[in-house]
Structure formats: structure tokens, C-alpha cells
Structure 1
Amino acid sequence: MIKACHSGGSRWAIACLLLLGGAMVKPAAAFYNSSSALGTNTNEIMDDDSSAPFIDLMKMSLPFREARPLNKGNIEYDRNGWPTRISAGGQVGTRFVSKLPAGTIPSGSYTVLYEGEGKLEYGNDATVQNQAPGRDVIILDPGKDNELNATLYIKATDPANPVRNIRILPPGGVCASNPFQRVAAAGQCRGDYLSFEQHSGKIIFNPDYLTFMRDYRVIRFMNMSGITRNPVYAWEDRASIDQQTWGGAEGIRGAPMEVMVELANRLHADPWFSLPHAASNDFIRRFAEYVQVNLDPSLKVYVEYSNEVWNGVFTQHAYAKQQGVQMGLDPDPNQAAYKFYSKRSVDVFGIWEQVFQGNKRVVRVMSGLVGSTQMTKTILSYNGAYRFTDAYAVAPYVFGDANALRKARSVADIFRVMTDPKYPHSLPSELNSVRKQADVTKSFGVDLIAYEGGQHLVEMTTKSDNQHPNNLFYAANRDPKMASIYQQLLTGWKQAGGKLFVHFSSPRIYRKYGSFGTKEYITQPDSQAPKHRALLAFTRANPCWWSGCSGNNLVRQAKPAITLETMKTQSEPLDATAPQYEPIYGEPPPFSIGNIPPEASTAQESTLVSMRSAPNEQYVVGGNALIRKVRSRASVWQGASAYQLRNVVSGSIDGKQDLAALWQASWDQQNLYVRIGVEDDKPAVNDSTVPWEDDAVELYLDADASMAAQYDQRNDFHFIFNLKNGTVALGKNSPRGARLQLNQKLTRSANGYVLEVMLPWSALGVSPRSGHRLGLDVHVDDDDDGGDRDGKLTWKAKQDDAWQNPSLFGGAILGD
């Protein structure tokens, strides 16, 4: 139900067309979730998401920019990710489905629609049936491996009218009166047939996905919205309907809010929004305004600041810790993080309450670790936050004990570990933690709900899907005994005083990253999905039992007078046995995630973190370095993270005693600041005719992160700093005729040097803002004995070709 569309250009026009067109008739069957006690988490939008939420497969594809192995030549993109120019002989490609079990989506003829002029080709399990300008027909067939993989290539595009707005649509359609049922042809409808090809902007959602989702009263959009490790700050950087895809890596993927609100409306399900940790107040307010105008007024909305801010593997935890310490909220960094989370949550709630004019449709949610009542007390008591909070959410996951699971040799062993009271996360132990949490939240007048929960059989140290104990985990999740585990968990949750339970998660493939899906794929028969059967049986036998659960408005608890004993908190370590990693599929980050290093004092201005201990590196969005905004004009490096160079790509480096290096960066609206610190046992060897054969520093920048295989002659730069004479040269593949007015400062010491560089954004051709991406790398050349260099150390490149291949650079993102 879309009540209004805002003005503001083509983007809003497209949004209004898509969503107004989507206001289809809701059958009565869509509303039988009104008394459901359960919600579900959505999945990350990726090309291997077996929940397949959208009919247009392009919306789940890998972004062209990310698909480097499929790309050739020089490629330029528009702001939405569509290629506008491809060099002769080049191509740009994407995977639009990957590893989907046969039957997840229909096999057969798919229609590919597009605008512009160019040439498309297809690969893997996609073959061309016929082609015409603007419309191809392809056959998708999983083949003998019973798995569907498909790729699309743009082999040529007209720069004056480039190929864009590609849609990949399945055969058949729906009847407008029943969008939950896929039909093959118009004859199966009573005059209201809508084909997928002609009405993709009106239908939007996979009918099989709608059928699955309609059993749940609440939809938590944390994964679909893509907020994890997402540094988005400004409103203009939010996910857009116009984007080539809503899929991709962390910090890139995410559905537009328009689509999430529309899904909630169609399912008549209360949406649960987790807001990005770095989002500005303006971002929060505009998001709330859109929801207030466009969400069905008979629905409530759950509002949460970020996700698992307590969890040390996430950058949102490091952000909260840094903010809390800077504000002096607590001398203990973890307690400071919890208090900042509490404070910022209340700020976010206040904005939503203001936008909704006090309407009790807003459910204000904070969350924490199920095994830590002290964390709960800290978060709810800080500055009386419980008075502005309706629900405290935890994640009751059952697995028993990680070490015991590694020793399992049968499915029976798995279930013994999951139910043995001696293990900290067995079923009885987890329910005991729930009872303790219920007592604490009740004392604050706050509901206890579950933001995630279910089984948690996963061994994150395994390197392959078939490595022990993964196959046992898959078998246990397919065993009828797992239904019994779920029935006992949900019944125990209710008896302990818990209310809404939001399961993790929607259908997804069982892999080494976990078996979290209630089904393995969206169309899997219920008979093969014991967890799904258990969830449905529970919610049908236990209609929601708390006051106001099925109504339009939230019934808030009266806030009690809080005693000093209730508010008493103390610092405590996190439960080391708790799952403190993200239960997702996709490669885990190939880097350690540490906390933001402490701010450097002015006295330390000319030095970097000592190489005697590894620095705390702050990575976001799947391995990009975070470059923070300048905190103080007196010290542009204050609070900046440090990154160590670890790759030897040329010659040899004999350990840290021979050569070690770090780099830092920060930014403001005028400049990018980069600092490289080097420890060298024999510094200042300079006898060669070219600087890179001596001790030298090379800085690589791709200002728009196009990361092509060749320099684009626009804003790909290779700077070579000559330590002998203090000059800087541009590598031969940098833009011809470039005249960069950069400032540099070299400070030498007995065992090395520090190089500081200031680069104006105007010369780089960039208008900086939080969330902007750069390609970046730092190389240090080392010569200990004269003549040619002895070795080269790099941050990201794994081969010494960055001088001619920007795709080897690392990535960086401007943060706040």
C-alpha cells in the first residue's frame, strides 16, 4: 500500500512506478499470519541465495564491478553500476545465479529484456534460444550436476546508448488476485493474468518466496538491507532501485527501503528494520518518514540500531567502542561500547517517535548476548534507557559445545551434545539463560524477544563443505530429531517468558558456513524440512500469547520503579563459548578484525605503530581499509587506523628486522592524507638511476575504484617517491600530462623514515563523501647493498604488476 510518492527526480519516479504498480489485491490467505508468534530473518542478497526473493534474477546478481575474473579490457561504469564504455575486445560479466539446487527456480525459457544497443552472451547453464534487439530468450537448465549456475556477458556496448536496465525474467506469471501462486499461462486465471515479462515492475517478488514468508508475522530485514559492516552515513548513499543489482559483497549489497516496505505490505507482516551504525540523524529521519508515509497503517514497525553491536567481529562494535571511549562513557572499553549503543539507540528511537508523532506502532528494540544479564543491565539502565525501550532481543542458539561437536562421529553424537546439560549451549542450558534474561527484562518493564535463534551447528575453522564435522551437521539438520529440538526450544522459550521469536533464517543452502535455513531452498518439500515443519506446527498450536501481539498498536508495559540492585552492573568478559561470528554464507573475511587503535598524541605525530606488535587494522565491506575523516586540525592522524604491509612480491625480505612498513590515511573535504612508516635496518641506500631500484615508496590510487586491468588515463595514479632527492614522479601509465599539486614531508630516523603526503581531491577528480570507494596500494622498495633493489613489500598486490594493472590494488572506503 503506497500512500504517497515524494518528488525528486527519476529515481523517485521509478520507485513510484514500481511500487504503485505493485499494489495488487491481497487475498484473505495473506492475513493468516496475524496471530503468528514467529518472525523470520531474511537472507543476504546474493547470486547463491536459495530463497530467491525476486523474479528479476539480475537483482541478485554479482555486481559487474566485482566480477573481475569475468571482465576484460578497460571498462567505465555509471553511478548505478551499468557499463557505459568497454574497450575493443573487452567484455564485462556477471554471475546471476550460482550453486542453486535444481528446482529452486523453474527451468526453461527466460526472457532477458534490456535498453540500449550492444551484444549480450551467456554461459554455464544458460544458453541462447533466440536474440532480437532489446530482448533475448535463454534456456536455463541445471544439467547433470543438478545445480544451476549462469553467467551473462556484455561483449560490446554503444557509448551513446549503452546496454542497461537488464532484467532476467522467468516463464509464466501470476493471477493478480493471487500473487502467491505461479501460473504457466493466462488460461489459469480469470481474466487477471499478469505475465512476468510484461509486469515485472508490478509483481517484483517470487511467488514461491511470498508463499513461504506469509507464515511469519514479523520480517527482520537486517540481512536483506545489507547493514553489516556497512559504513553508509549519508542519505544519498542508500540502496537505490536503479542499481544494476541489489547483491554483492558486504557494504555494497542491500535492497532499497522501498522494496522492503512493499514486501511487508504485501505480506501484511510487521517489518523489523536494523539501521546502519554510522547513519546520520538525517538518514534515520528520512528513513522513518518514508516508512510512516508508505507502510500499511495497520502494521507495527520494529526499530533497532544496527545489529549485534556487542559482537567483536563486527565493525559496528569497534565503532561503538571508539565512540564510547571518546565520549568518556566508561573507563572499561566494552562497557563504554554498550553504553554508547544504549545512548545511540535511544537517539534513534526518539527520531522515529517524533516522525510517527507518538504513535504506538513503533516497537523500540535493543539487543544483547543471551548469556550475559550484566550486559542487559548495562544497556537498559544507562541513563534510564529502559524507559524508552519496548523490547530487549537475544539470540537463543542451540549447539552444545564446539569442542564436543568436533569429536562427534555420528548424528546421534550430535544430538547428545545438543541436549546434554553439561554443555554451555545445550538446549537445557540455553533455556536456563533465557529464564534469567526474562527475569531481568521483566524487572525493567521490557519484553523479551528473539532477534535470531534456532540450531547453530557450524564449524568455522573448516576449509571445505565436506570437511568433518560438516556432513554430520547437514544430516542432523535433515533428521526428524531436529524438529523435536525446535519444538522443545520454542515451547521452553514461551514457558520462560519469551514473546516474539524471529528464526534465523529463510531458506539457504547448507554449507561450511552453517545450516541455518529453515529449508535448503525455497521450493523444497516440507516433508524434507523438519525445522520448517516444527516452526509451522508451533505457531499454529500457539497463537501469539502476549497482549497486543495481533493488533495494530503496541501494548507497552508499565515501567516499574527501578531499585539500585536492579541497575547494578559490572564489567564481565563475554562468554567465550558463545558464537561470536556472523552466521552467513560467503567466504569469511581473510583478515583479522581488531578494534580501532587509540588516538595518537601530538608527541607521537612523526611515528606510526611500532612494528614489534601487529597493528589493529580496521577493515569493512569484505576487506576494504577504513579511512576515517579528520578528527582534529591539529592532528590529521588522530584516530586513524594503521595497516601493515605483509606481501613480498619481488626479491626477498629477511623478516621484519630487514624491512617492515605500515600506512595510515585520513580525509577531509579538501584532501586525502596518506602516511607511510618504514623500519629498515639499512635505510637510505640510493645509488641507482631509477628510484624503484633503491629505497623508495610507491603509492597507487584508483580514485573511482574502477579497478580495471589497465590504467584508465583519467584517475588511476602511480606515485613514486624518491627518497634520495625528495622528488615524486608519476608512473608511465598514469594520466598523461597530469599536474598534481601534492605536498609531501619526509622525516628520517636512525632505523627508518616516515613519509607524509597530502593529495587534493580536486586533482584526483573526486568529490569525497562517507562511503566513497578508492583503489589503493602501498609498496616499499628495499635496497640494502647498492645496485638493484633486494626486495619489495606490498600491502595488497600479490605480484609486481600494479604499475600496469590497477585490478591488483587493494580497496579503501571513506568513513566518518
Structure 2
Amino acid sequence: MTKVHHFWGSRLVLACMLLLGLTATQSAGAFYNTTSALGTNTNEIMDDDASAPFIDLMKMSLPFREARQLNKGNIQYDRFGWPTRISEGGQAGTRFVSKLPAGTIPRGPYIVLYDGEGKLDYGNDATLMEHMPGRDTIMLDPGKDNELNATLFIKATNPGNHLRNIRILPPGGICSGNPFQRVASAGQCRGDYLAFEQHSGKIIFNPDYLTYMKDFRVIRFMNMSGITRNPVYAWEDRASIDQQTWGGAEGIRGAPMEVMVELANRLHADPWFSMPHAASNDFIRRFAEYVKVNLDPTLKVYVEYTNEAWNGIFTQHAYVKQKGQQLRLDTDANQAAWKYYSKRSVEVFGIWEQAYRGNDRLVRVMSGLVGSTQMTKTILSFEGAYRYTDAYAVAPYVYGDTDALRKARSVSQIFQVMTDPKYPHSLPNEIKSIGKQADTAKSFGVDLIAYEGGQHLVDWNTKSDNQHPNNLFYQANRHPQMGVIYKRLLEGWKQAGGKLFVQYTSPRIYRKYGSFGIKEYITQPDAQAPKYQAMIGFARANQCWWDGCSGNVLVRHSKPVLSLEAMKTQSEPLDATAPMYEPIHGEPPPFPMGNIPPEQVASAAPTERILVSMQNSPNEQYVMGGNASIRQVRDRHDVFQGAASYQLRSVVNGKIDGTHDLAAMWQASWDQQNLYLRVGVEDDRPEISDSSVPWEDDAVEVYLDADGSRNAQYDQRNDFHFIFSLKDGKVALGKNSPPVGSVQMNHNVSRTGNGYVLEVTLPWSALRVNPRPGHRLGLDVHVDDDDDGGDRDGKLTWKAQQDESWRNPSLFGGVILGE
């Protein structure tokens, strides 16, 4: 009991412990998936997830903080994301379902339960039917467009007892002995009836979701856990059961580990956990210890360090590349990245083995490109990593060739491209690549498995769902011939030497981002889903064929003594035609907010102290789709060594006549004592200073929300507005800023040619926060420009799109402290 309390630390401890009451009690041999050769990837938790995994629709909703287009007025939030204060006439809104095909979830009356006092309202396809204190009844009806969209608004809330713990629950329930089928009433149960309204904390999972998942032996939680571009480092920053939602943007969304473990227990499916790329050893240890205590002991655990560390569109790739170069693991940047991935993977495996007091139930997984045995050899051979690895995972995707697909004018032509041997990722060539990988894996004494796989018909250059060739892709995925391709892929996989195949992915809507769903929505009839039929048919006709598949103890191969030839890592070029995009649900890759991958930008010239150069691009390093990454100090004598630089690009006030008039960049770093900030400015006419207030002359404004709350008004605690005057070097506080107290803040302005550099040291004690890797800040940098005296001529900003930051911290940009 002491251990359970240590891990959970939640007001829902009791409710979540009751989950165990629904865990299936059959013997292992009684489950559908005991001998299945297939696994499935989960989806990201979002309001348009057509797999609809949870009974409580609020857990898939858009966070109130993110739903800015639905919000009005000034809003403050508690630490779980519930609005605590809303200004008069304002509202806090969220989408809790979006674009779901009719039938994905039941049409009818839903119960909305909540704690606290306030006023709720509903929109789109949700209408209020009945109101009682703490309980509303709403009707969800997709209407004539056969698409369900629904919103919820908090119109007012009592700050002393704010609205919170909102749950949106469907009609009916389940019979206690059968969580796979929803029923309308107690009369349909022979035993106890569990209504969704009274027992949502026990039931948790949508019965239709459990029905779909029951045929898969392994569940890969990479998407559901939200690790993509997620810089989480500290255990305290993990996903919490108490959060308003488990959905949202990259780096925010993610199910708590308690929920993922419980899903594996319910389904008697082996979980596959991908550890976040920047997670601390303490994070990984506590995660492993929780799984050891709470996972069904008859289940194995697949353990992987991050996801697609080789893929240049992901921040985890930039991270392992940086780490590999820092450790000087190789002079080639990619080889250094792969070697660090290998090294860190072995460290992660070791932490799990300590928690499990051995490795009998652990499947230690490394992964790479299906078309590159060079990568495989590098990863598995580095420092003898193969000796601590059980499986090497690849992603066999079939599509043929992107340019050829764009020229197709019929579904039959799509299938011709997918199967023509002249195209590098056609079905026959993908099976050949599988065979090469199987031979390579065997030479290292590890199994070949698939972490993802299936068709990969997607054109990332398209701008709309209906742009060619997207409609042909949708038709092809609905065509019986696609089922034939899946059958041939799986048969080729088995024949070539592959073992577990984890398909991509759970039911999801077909859109321009791909048609990756094995079904289009969770309740889609099997007869309409040829990919699903083919996979389930294969699984039932081909029970897992490798030793140890159906048991809870892994059967390992003996490890060979490698020859120099086997360890050769330059035997072939990297496959440049491989898909370099993770199928992203609802967001266009590679960077949905227009950011630049680190590999595609040049570093600022090191010879000038000034940061800005009109001839050089900034070295911007973004994470989670739009947050700047600030690294820890590496050299106390040069605190900005290796720091990324970020360019100011927006004009929000007046006029800036191009970069020859004004240009600016900022850099930052941190340690346990201070936040360090440097702003470099190039100005054709600096030091104009004739106004009574600093922002009307040449000046730098720094905005900081030290706890990252980014509310719509200053909180008088740690939301700051600093104004640094170029005229006299003094600093002023904006009128909404709290005082910084007696703590010393150091700053210095130095002139360089046609510009100047501001350096600031801000003690964390003055900002009233305790820093740690993964901590989020709100930050923005503005530069005021006055070329001819009088009022300023213009203002340049990093993130703000309007000149309201002096009173609205929600306009600040996002920053995350890195390692």
C-alpha cells in the first residue's frame, strides 16, 4: 500500500484502485489474443479521435487553455486546467468531439456531471435538455451532415468553488462480467449492472474500443502516451489522472501511465512503452517500478527508448544527435545520433531490469529504418548493444513511389504503383527489405519485429483533404484490393523471418494526413474495412509461430561472437526514399506552426558578438510544435555557448522598413540559480532618445510568465514586463508587473557597430519559481525602434501578433527548459 500511495498521489486514488475490480479473471488461454501474431498502435488522444477510447468524452477534449478561439475575456486556471476565474461577460470553451462520423459514439442523451458552482452552455451538435445542480442532460445528434461536433462553455464560475471535474457520459452501461458490450439498462444483465453515470471511474474504457482491441496481443502506447516532441524530464511533470483532459497539442496530450497499464490488464495484452527522449533516470525508474507492481504478472513488457530517433522531423532526433556529438561518439552527425540512441537505450533497459529484478518478462527493443541495414548494424553493434537487446523493430510501409502516385488518375493505377517492382517501396521491394533486415537481426541474435506497418498512401504536399491524389487514396483504402495487399504483406513478413507485427493504427478518419486507420471509426462494420478483415483473417489463420509468443517469459537467442564483417556499418547508403514523416493525427508535418527543423538552418556566425546578421539564418530549435528550447549552461565562463538563437519577425506597431532598418534575435540559457537572456539588435539608427517613456525610444522589452500559466491578465506574482532603455541603460517595470523585490537583477548593454547587445541575468528567486528540465515558461522579446525622434516608428516581436502583451500574458510565446 505504501508503494501505491507513493506512485499515485491523486485525489482519485480510491476510484482508480477500483479499476482492478473490472480486470478480467479468465486464465491466459481464455483470451482472444493469446496466440495472436499482431499488435496495434494506439492513437493520439484528441477530440477527433475516431477510436473513442474513453467513456468520459471530456478526457479527449481540447484543453480550455488551448481553445483560444472559443474563449473570451480574462481567464485564470488551476493546476489541472480548470478555469478558476472568468471575467464578467467572458467564457471558457472546449471542443469535446470533432468531425466524428455518425455512429462513432451513440446518438442520444448524455449526462454531464460536475463539481462546483457556475453556468455551463453547449454548442454545435450538443443541446441542453435538462439542468439540475451538478448534473445536466444534453442531446448529442450529428444532424444532416452525419458528422458529430460538440462544444462546451463555462459562462461563469464561482472562484471560491469553481466548476471542475466535468464528466460527459453516454447513456446506458455494461454488465459487470462483460466490459466489451454496452447495454441500455439493468434488464439486459444477468448479474450486476454498472451504469456509465455512476461507475465511469471504474469502467473508463469505451466497450466498442475494448471490442476492437481484444484481438491484438501487444498494444504500443507511443501515441496514447504523447511522447512525440515531448521534452518531459521530471517525474513531477508526467500526465496526471486529475487533468481536465488527456488530449490537446503535442507535448501536452498523453494518458496517465495508470490508465495505460489498466488497459493492458483488461485486455490481457502485452504493453509496449516508449520512454520520452529527455526523461531522467528517476522518471524511467519510477515508471518501471509502477509497471512492475501494477501490471498483470502473466504479461510481458516491451520497452523502447523514444520513437524514431532517426527521423529528422522530430525533436527527439535533434536531441540524440546533439547528445551524440557532445559525447563525440562519431565524427558523422547521423552516426553519432544512432550511437547515442543505442547507448541510451541500453541504459534505459538497465533501469527497467533493476526494477524487475531481472529481464524474464522484458522485451528490450531498438528500432530503425526498414531499408537501412547500415543503421541496424550501427545501432546493434555499438558498445555491444545487441547483447542487451531482444528485438529490432522496423516499419514496413507499402506505397511504391510518391511522384508516381501523384500521376495516378484511378484507383487501379494506385495499386499498380504499390505493387510494381520498379518503385522502391512497392510491396515486392518492401518484402525484400524485410528479408535483409531479418538476416541482419538474426546475425546479432535478436528478433525482427514491426513497430508500425501497413499502407502509406499520403502526400504531405497537399493542402486540403480533397486535393488530388487524396480522394484516390481514400478510395484505395476502402477497396478490397487493399485487403489483398495487406494479406500479401503479412505473409511476406512471416516468410521473410519477421515475428510480431504491430500495425499502424487504431481506427481514425481518413484525411490529407493519411489513411492510416485500420478502420475509419471504431464502430465501422467489418465488411466496410478491408484492411481490418485482412489482418484479423491473417491472425486467425497464422497463430504466432515463434517460441515464447504466448507465454509470459521471453525465449531468447544465444548471442553470437560477431565477426568484423558483421559489425561493418558502412555497407550501404541510407535509404533516402523512406517515409520521413510520422503519421500525425490532425497536424501537418513536419512542424505545424511553421518552425524550421534544426538540420535545415545555419548557425549564426561565431565571429561577431552580436547575434544578428542579415547574411545568416538563426539556429532555432523548437519543441512540441512551437516552443523554444533553452538548454542548461555548459560553461559558466560562457553561459550562451551552444545556445539556440531565435529571430524576431513580427511587426505589431508602426512600421519597420525591412531588416536594413531593424533586425533582432535572442538567446537564453539557464542553471539552478539564474535565467540568462541575450538580445542582439541591428539598427540603422540606434540610440534615438528624446521621449519621456522608454518604449517610445530605442528599447528592448522582455516579457516573462515564470510559471507558464499564460493567463489573459497579469497574476501579480510571476508575470513580468521589463523595459530596458538604450538611452540610459536603466530598466523599468511595466505597470502590470509585480516588483522583483530586493534580489539583484544584472543587465548590461554593449554597442557593436550598427547595433547593440543586451545581456540580462534574472535570478529564479526573483521570478519565484524553482527550475527543472521540462519546466515551461511564457516569454517574448520586443524591440522598439525610433529613427527620427518623437514617438517610436515601429516595434518588432518574436511571438506576439498584437501590441497587447503589456496587459495580456496569453500572447507570450512558449519556452521549455531543456537539459
Same fold (TM over 0.5): yes
Matching of residue 636 in structure 1 with residue 634 in structure 2: no
1:457-606 matches, cutoff 5 A: 457-570=457-570, 574-588=574-588, 589=592, 590-595=594-599, 606=609
Change (3 A) 1:370 1:177: same
Matching of residue 190 in structure 1 with residue 190 in structure 2: yes
Q: CA deviation at 1:574?
A: 3.8
Q: CA deviation at 1:634?
A: 1.8
Give the aligned residue type for 1:591: N
Matching of residue 655 in structure 1 with residue 653 in structure 2: no
SS, match of residue 64 in structure 1? coil
- The answer to whether the 8 Å contact 1:597/1:640 transfers is no
Match of residue 393 from structure 1: 393
Change (3 A) 1:737 1:395: closer
Q: CA deviation at 1:151?
A: 1.1
Q: CA deviation at 1:5?
A: 5.7
Match of residue 36 from structure 2: 36
Give the aligned residue type for 1:308: E
Matching of residue 624 in structure 1 with residue 622 in structure 2: no
Q: CA deviation at 1:537?
A: 0.7
1:244-283 matches, cutoff 5 A: 244-283=244-283
Q: What is the aligned residue count?
A: 813
Match of residue 12 from structure 2: 14
Give the aligned residue type for 1:148: L
User: Which range moved further: 129-138 or 714-723?
Assistant: 714-723
**Structure 2 CA distance for aligned equivalents of residues 782 and 491 of structure 1:** 67
User: Which range moved further: 218-227 or 133-142?
Assistant: 133-142
Change (3 A) 1:388 1:737: closer
Q: CA deviation at 1:222?
A: 0.3
Give the aligned residue type for 2:13: A
Q: CA deviation at 1:137?
A: 1.0
SS, match of residue 84 in structure 2? strand
**Structure 2 CA distance for aligned equivalents of residues 655 and 421 of structure 1:** 52
Matching of residue 430 in structure 1 with residue 433 in structure 2: no
User: Which range moved further: 85-94 or 107-116?
Assistant: 85-94
1:194-343 matches, cutoff 5 A: 194-343=194-343
CA displacement, residues 333-381 of structure 1 (integer Å, 9 cap, x when unaligned): 1111100000000001111112111141100000001111101000000
Change (3 A) 1:436 1:737: closer
Q: Unaligned 5+ residue runs, structure 1? A: none
Q: CA deviation at 1:94?
A: 1.1
Match of residue 175 from structure 2: 175
Q: CA deviation at 1:429?
A: 1.3
Match of residue 110 from structure 1: 110
- The answer to whether the 8 Å contact 1:598/1:639 transfers is no
Give the aligned residue type for 1:782: D
Q: CA deviation at 1:27?
A: 7.0
User: Which range moved further: 333-342 or 700-709?
Assistant: 700-709
Q: CA deviation at 1:73?
A: 2.3
Give the aligned residue type for 2:141: D
- The answer to whether the 8 Å contact 1:377/1:567 transfers is yes
Q: Unaligned 5+ residue runs, structure 2? A: none
**Structure 2 CA distance for aligned equivalents of residues 93 and 282 of structure 1:** 36
Match of residue 608 from structure 1: 611
Q: CA deviation at 1:712?
A: 3.5
Match of residue 699 from structure 1: 702
Match of residue 402 from structure 1: 402
**Structure 1 CA distance for aligned equivalents of residues 433 and 230 of structure 2:** 31
- The answer to whether the 8 Å contact 1:276/1:306 transfers is yes
**Structure 1 CA distance for aligned equivalents of residues 360 and 661 of structure 2:** 65
User: Which range moved further: 764-773 or 99-108?
Assistant: 764-773
Q: CA deviation at 1:790?
A: 3.1
**Structure 1 CA distance for aligned equivalents of residues 462 and 321 of structure 2:** 30
**Structure 2 CA distance for aligned equivalents of residues 30 and 515 of structure 1:** 33
**Structure 2 CA distance for aligned equivalents of residues 507 and 13 of structure 1:** 32
Matching of residue 676 in structure 1 with residue 674 in structure 2: no
Q: CA deviation at 1:800?
A: 2.6
Give the aligned residue type for 1:342: S
User: Which range moved further: 779-788 or 424-433?
Assistant: 779-788
**Structure 2 CA distance for aligned equivalents of residues 523 and 579 of structure 1:** 30
Q: CA deviation at 1:75?
A: 2.0
Equivalent of 2:777 in 770, 774, 778? 774
Match of residue 689 from structure 1: 692
- The answer to whether the 8 Å contact 1:684/1:695 transfers is yes
Give the aligned residue type for 2:596: S
Match of residue 162 from structure 1: 162
Give the aligned residue type for 1:336: A
Over the residues paired in the alignment, what is the CA RMSD in angstroms? 2.1
Match of residue 133 from structure 1: 133
Q: CA deviation at 1:596?
A: 11
**Structure 2 CA distance for aligned equivalents of residues 46 and 556 of structure 1:** 38
**Structure 2 CA distance for aligned equivalents of residues 653 and 33 of structure 1:** 64
Match of residue 368 from structure 2: 368
Q: CA deviation at 1:695?
A: 2.1
**Structure 2 CA distance for aligned equivalents of residues 609 and 447 of structure 1:** 51
**Structure 2 CA distance for aligned equivalents of residues 734 and 357 of structure 1:** 53
**Structure 1 CA distance for aligned equivalents of residues 353 and 684 of structure 2:** 61
SS, match of residue 580 in structure 1? coil
**Structure 1 CA distance for aligned equivalents of residues 420 and 601 of structure 2:** 41
Change (3 A) 1:794 1:190: same
Give the aligned residue type for 1:779: H
- The answer to whether the 8 Å contact 1:611/1:661 transfers is no
Matching of residue 728 in structure 1 with residue 726 in structure 2: no
CA displacement, residues 228-272 of structure 1 (integer Å, 9 cap, x when unaligned): 111111111111111111111111111111110000010000000
Change (3 A) 1:538 1:675: same
Matching of residue 803 in structure 1 with residue 801 in structure 2: no
Give the aligned residue type for 2:422: K
Q: CA deviation at 1:591?
A: 1.3
Match of residue 53 from structure 2: 53
Change (3 A) 1:284 1:470: same
Q: CA deviation at 1:736?
A: 7.3
CA displacement, residues 541-560 of structure 1 (integer Å, 9 cap, x when unaligned): 11111111111110001111
- The answer to whether the 8 Å contact 1:42/1:220 transfers is yes
TM-score (norm 1): 0.96
Q: CA deviation at 1:718?
A: 2.1
**Structure 2 CA distance for aligned equivalents of residues 259 and 17 of structure 1:** 12
CA displacement, residues 399-454 of structure 1 (integer Å, 9 cap, x when unaligned): 11111111111111111111111111111111111111111111101100000010
- The answer to whether the 8 Å contact 1:596/1:641 transfers is no
**Structure 2 CA distance for aligned equivalents of residues 596 and 347 of structure 1:** 30
Change (3 A) 1:571 1:687: farther
- The answer to whether the 8 Å contact 1:32/1:215 transfers is yes
SS, match of residue 374 in structure 2? helix
Give the aligned residue type for 2:18: L
**Structure 2 CA distance for aligned equivalents of residues 134 and 604 of structure 1:** 64
Change (3 A) 1:609 1:400: farther
SS, match of residue 65 in structure 1? coil
**Structure 1 CA distance for aligned equivalents of residues 347 and 601 of structure 2:** 26
SS, match of residue 236 in structure 1? helix
User: Which range moved further: 212-221 or 740-749?
Assistant: 740-749
Give the aligned residue type for 1:292: K
Q: CA deviation at 1:701?
A: 1.7
SS, match of residue 765 in structure 2? helix
- The answer to whether the 8 Å contact 2:23/2:265 transfers is no
Q: CA deviation at 1:572?
A: 6.8
**Structure 2 CA distance for aligned equivalents of residues 778 and 330 of structure 1:** 37
TM-score (norm 2): 0.96
Change (3 A) 1:479 1:10: closer
Q: CA deviation at 1:801?
A: 2.7
User: Which range moved further: 788-797 or 116-125?
Assistant: 788-797
